[in-house]
């Protein structure tokens, strides 16, 4: 029997690897390129401007090997990087002032979230949520 121990930050779902990453508000709003760990080593991942909490990015072929019944390889799964936008709890005076200035320029209308897209429904299915 094979015993698989939990990893500190990778989670496994079948042949795919899931990784949660935190971005600060500026990275999510403006976009950035971040370095993410994979089982093969670090890779650069471009994060587009306007990235929201819960969005996921696919790193093709960075998951676990897919094995056929005869033990030969049938490729690899993917790694999914799931973004969490970290809202700061403690702001400096300067940061608070900057956020207050930004707030004056933003719309305050409450808009219900859009219907989930195809990828969101797939991720919900894979995570057992429905």
| Contact call for residues 23 and 84 (beta carbons, < 8 A) | yes
The share of the chain scoring above pLDDT 70, in percent, equals 85
pLDDT digits (tens, 9 = 90+) for 1-17: 555 666 677 888 888 99
**Cα separation values, 32 from 1, 12, 39, 46, 88, Å:** 43, 26, 22, 6, 18
Mean pLDDT, the chain, as a whole number? 86
d(CA 40, CA 101): 43
Distance separating the N- and C-terminal Cα atoms of the chain: 32
The pTM of the full predicted model, rounded to 2 decimals, is 0.73
With 0-12 / 13-18 / 19 or more C-beta atoms within 10 angstroms meaning exposed / middle / buried, residue 43 is middle
- Torsional class of 75: left (φ above 0), alpha (ψ -120 to 50), beta (otherwise): left
| Contact call for residues 126 and 77 (beta carbons, < 8 A) | no
For the residues 74-91, what does the mean pLDDT come to? Answer: 92
């Amino acid at each position: 029997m094979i015993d698989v121990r939990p990893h500190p930050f990778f989670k496994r779902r079948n042949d795919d690897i899931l990784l949660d990453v935190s971005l600060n508000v500026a990275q999510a709003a403006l976009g950035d390129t971040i370095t993410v760990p994979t089982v093969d080593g670090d890779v650069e991942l471009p994060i587009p401007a306007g990235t929201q909490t819960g969005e996921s990015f696919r790193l093709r072929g960075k998951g676990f090997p897919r094995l056929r019944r005869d033990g030969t390889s049938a490729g690899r799964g993917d790694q999914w990087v799931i973004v969490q936008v970290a809202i700061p709890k403690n702001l400096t005076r300067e940061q608070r002032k900057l956020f207050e200035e930004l707030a004056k320029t933003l719309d305050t209308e409450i808009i219900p979230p859009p219907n989930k897209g195809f990828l969101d429904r797939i991720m919900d299915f894979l995570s057992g949520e429905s």
